[in-house]
Amino acid sequence: MDIIFLHSLKIDAVIGIWDWERKIRQTVEIDLDMAADIRKAAETDDVADTLNYKLVAKRLQAFVGESEFQLVETLAERVAAIVTDEFGVPWVRVRINKPGAIRGARDVGVIVERGVRPRQD
């Protein structure tokens, strides 16, 4: 199994359950690990033969930036669906951090894995 990753993607969004959180934008940080077979791209050296992580990042920046979810769990589920459904990724691990959400903690968040994790050969 090959993994293409995109880590520390920072996006400002309305996220949270408290009234004050619904009035501001907070930064969420997203890490993605995405299953991909990169052999053809390695042979051809052509971006058309691989998962274009720039396109994934742009799509998520637009989606998350416009979102107004209450729960990080909901956001993680929607991000996973975008990656698997729109980009044809068979397995994805999504980690979403909400830095500063808990006093005394660097960050808090969730990790979800969706799809069928490919075998490691």
- What are the pLDDT digits (tens) for 49-100? 999 999 999 999 999 999 999 999 999 999 999 999 999 999 999 999 999 8
Active site residues: 98
User: Does a structural domain hold residue 121?
Assistant: no
User: Which pLDDT value is given to residue 117?
Assistant: 78
Using CA atoms, how far residue 107 sits from 21, 41, 93, in Å, is 16, 36, 18
Residue 42 belongs to domain spanning: 2-115
In a domain, 120, yes or no: no
Report yes or no on 70 lying in a domain.
Answer: yes
Domain count of the chain? 1
Residue 49 maps to a domain: yes
pLDDT score, position 116 = 85
Instruction: Tell me: pLDDT of 120 over 70.
Output: no
Q: For 28-51, what is each residue's pLDDT tens digit?
A: 999 999 999 999 999 999 999 999
CATH code, 77: 3.30.1130.10
Return the SS3 of 1.
Answer: coil
1 has pLDDT over 90: no
